[in-house]
Structure 1
Amino acid sequence: MLKRLIVIVTATILFSSSLTLAQSKKPKPPDKFPPNPLEITTPDPLSPRSPKEKEPLTLQERQKLEPALDALNQEAAAKLQAGDKVAAFEIWNRELRLRRFLGSLAEVQALSRVGAIAWKQNDGEQVQYITQRLQTIQKQGQSQKKSAQIDLELWRSLGQAYQNVRSPKLAIEAYGQVLLVVRQQNDPIVLVETLKTMGELHLSWFDYSKATPIYEELLSLATSLGERVNEVTYLQRLADIYEQTNQPQQSLNVLNKLAAIYVSENNFTEIPELKLAIASDYESLAKKDPNLLLEAFKNYQEAYTTAWELKEYVRAGDALQKLIALYRSQGQTDEALQASQILVDAQAQAANFYGMMKAYDQIGQLYVERKQYPQAVTAFQKGLELAQQLKLEEAYFTGQIQKLSKANF
């Protein structure tokens, strides 16, 4: 009994001691996020002077530093090629820290170069470091007043660097500063290039509302300069934007301008697809103004007839399908039947046997609507023949024929 009591007391003391020891050990704080290696201030053997000295490098200092940094870049590239990505970016980060001595422009251009590599290597952490450093430089640039030319060069490089690290919003901010300078310089070529870059960036972010005025300005510039090719390009881009943003009236205005250009240049190959888009816009607008349905019919008809004349039977078939659907929506069964017969011919010319089969099915359904069952059976039988050749939907056509036969039409 005494031994048992001693064991219990001993165990209690040991447990109490271990509990006291555990309580005395405070939990370790979580690891801090690693510092940006581009902001390390440890002296470097290649540093020409202290980073605190604000005076620009002398020519001799630059001539000594630049080849050394180029050598670091080559060394890092060799490491990456050898498969040592960690060592490669350590060397590149050292190079980038030292590039700062050469000025903001040289640093941004180097950040842009390494940022593109980091993105390609899917190194998200390195991309973040570079992006943070670019933002720091951007803030410094905004607070400093420099000549327009220096600003332009720096901000354009910032924009490109942000593009390389896939930060479109930040790139747009940078190019916005470029645009302010370019507008004052009265250089239409540089203005157009800047607007094009900004327009593409807005579209990459699906920001159609901000892309629209840019492409409208580009269109105006191209028209005033008589640049027909660019005018067509910007009209096409605006048509896509208006379609994406569901603005049929604006889309229609642009598409009609495009059609006029194509007709004036005898470029009829683009007309069928263009007429299809115009008809679709009229169909959308007709929901509020039914009188516009006539324009929709007219443009669908022009789309298929032009395509037929060009022997583009696939496009002709597409236009006919749209036309038939519109006829059916308006209860114009006779016209839908006529167009469906033409559709069979178009699909035959295009050697689209599946399309022919579906056209015969459509004809059969239209005859059923008119209660003309013998004609419907004939259409379904032709569809069945094609289905048997294609080994598709045979049961469907057989079922349609049997159903009508049982009805003893």
Structure 2
Amino acid sequence: MLRRLILIVTTAILFSSSMTLAETKKPQPPDKFPPSPLEITTPDPLLPRLPKNKQPLTLEEQQNLEPALDALNQEATAKLQAGDQVAAFEIWNRELRLRRFLGSLAEVQALSRVGAIAWKQNDPQEVQYITQRLQAIQKQAQSQKKTAQTDLELWRSLAQAYQNVRSLKQAVEAYNQVLPVVREQKNATALVEMLKTIGELHLSWFDYRKAAPIYEELLSFATSQGERVNEVTYLQQLAEIYEQTSQPQQSLNVLNKLAGIYANENNLTKIPDLKLAIASNYESLAKKDPNLLLEAFKNYQEAYTTAWQLRQYVRAGEALQKLIALYRSQGQTDEALQASEILVQIQAQSVNFYGMMQAYDQIGQLYVERKEFPQALTAFQKGLELAQQLKHQEAYFTGQIKKISNANL
């Protein structure tokens, strides 16, 4: 009994001691991420001296350092060409650390160059290091007051560097710092190029709403200068933007301008597509204003007739399908039937047997709605003949025929 008691007490003491040790032992901190190689502060033998109190190198010292850095770039390029990517970026990182002693602009331009290489070589860690350094320079630039021209050149370089490492949102932010200065300079060519760059960056992020005012400004400029080719390009871009953002009224404004330009130039080949898009927008707007349905009908009809004249049978068929659906939604069965009969002819003209089969099915359904079963039966039988040739939907048409035949018994 005594031995058992001693054993229990001993066990309790050991357990208590282990708990105490466990409580007093501090958890080990997780391994830290390795520091960016661009932030290493070890003195470099290429530096003539270690700048004190953040004093920059003298102009003579910078001029002496620059050729050595260019040599590092060449050495890194040679290493990469030889297949030693790790060594190449070690050398480039050393170059980038030293470039900052030549000033922010020189450093950003070097970061931009190496960043483009890192992206091309699919080196995400290096891209991250460079992006972080660009962000630090940007933050510093925002806190300092510089002359407009110096500021412009630095922000341009920052924007390009961000583009090279695919930090597109930050590239836009940088360009937005430059844009007011470019506007003040009254340099139309530079302004247009910058707006185009910003617009393209917004579109690459699918940020259509921010892209819209940029392309509206570009359109206004092209129109005022009589630049017809650019005007059409920007109108087409805006049409896509407003379609993506579901803004039918703005889309209509743009599409009608395009249609007017093509009509004046007698470029009718593009009219059917435009009329289809215009009609679709009117149909959307008609949900709030039913009076606009007349415009939808009108533009679908114009799309069909123009496409037919141009022998664009696929487009003509598409326009008729839209027109038939609109007729049916308004309960205009007679008009829908007439359009469906024309659709059969168009599909035959374009040797689209599948389209013909679908058109006969549509005609059959419309006759069923009117309870004109003999005509419906004829339509489904013609559809079955095509289905048998295509070896597709035979059971469906057979079922429709059987259903009508049983109804007439």
Shared fold, TM over 0.5? yes
8 A contact 2:115–2:165 mirrored in 1? yes
1:208-239: per-residue Cα shift (whole Å, max 9, x none)? 33222211111111011111111111111222
8 A contact 1:57–1:102 mirrored in 2? no
CA drift at 1:254: 1.1
Is structure 2 residue 150 aligned with structure 1 residue 150?
yes
Note the 1:23-172 alignment, pairs <5 A.
25-52=25-52, 54-58=55-59, 61-62=62-63, 64-80=64-80, 84-172=84-172
Q: Provide the residue aligned with 1:253 in structure 2.
A: 253
- The code of the aligned residue for 2:401 comes to I
Note the 1:189-338 alignment, pairs <5 A.
189-338=189-338
CA drift at 1:369: 1.1
Is structure 2 residue 347 aligned with structure 1 residue 350?
no
Q: Provide the residue aligned with 1:383 in structure 2.
A: 383
Aligned counterparts of 1:215 and 1:261: Cα–Cα separation in 2 = 18
8 A contact 2:172–2:198 mirrored in 1? yes
Aligned counterparts of 1:219 and 1:51: Cα–Cα separation in 2 = 51
Aligned counterparts of 1:345 and 1:359: Cα–Cα separation in 2 = 10
Aligned counterparts of 1:319 and 1:175: Cα–Cα separation in 2 = 43
Change (3 A) 1:402 1:57: farther
CA-based RMSD: 2.6
- The code of the aligned residue for 1:279 comes to A
TM-score, normalisation: structure 1? 0.91
Change (3 A) 1:311 1:51: farther
Q: Which segments of 5 or more consecutive residues in structure 1 lack a partner in the other structure?
A: none
8 A contact 1:248–1:282 mirrored in 2? yes
TM-score, normalisation: structure 2? 0.91
Count of aligned positions? 408
CA drift at 1:381: 1.6
Aligned counterparts of 1:165 and 1:287: Cα–Cα separation in 2 = 46
Q: 2:345 is paired with a residue of what secondary structure?
A: helix
Q: Provide the residue aligned with 2:394 in structure 1.
A: 394
Q: 1:331 is paired with a residue of what secondary structure?
A: coil
CA drift at 1:195: 0.9
Aligned counterparts of 2:41 and 2:69: Cα–Cα separation in 1 = 17
Change (3 A) 1:95 1:289: same
Aligned counterparts of 2:279 and 2:400: Cα–Cα separation in 1 = 33
8 A contact 1:57–1:101 mirrored in 2? no
CA drift at 1:267: 1.0
CA drift at 1:112: 1.6
- The code of the aligned residue for 1:212 comes to A
CA drift at 1:193: 0.7
- The code of the aligned residue for 2:35 comes to P
- The code of the aligned residue for 2:59 comes to T
Q: Please say which of residues 244-253 and 79-88 is displaced more in the overlay.
A: 79-88
CA drift at 1:281: 1.2
Aligned counterparts of 2:213 and 2:324: Cα–Cα separation in 1 = 37
1:251-293: per-residue Cα shift (whole Å, max 9, x none)? 1111111111011111111100000011111111222222221
CA drift at 1:349: 2.3
Aligned counterparts of 1:124 and 1:31: Cα–Cα separation in 2 = 20
Q: Please say which of residues 272-281 and 9-18 is displaced more in the overlay.
A: 9-18
8 A contact 2:62–2:101 mirrored in 1? no
1:71-126: per-residue Cα shift (whole Å, max 9, x none)? 33344345445555444333222121111122212211221222233334444333
8 A contact 1:248–1:284 mirrored in 2? yes
- The code of the aligned residue for 1:58 comes to L
Change (3 A) 1:34 1:348: same
Change (3 A) 1:83 1:19: farther
The percentage of aligned residue pairs carrying the same residue is 81
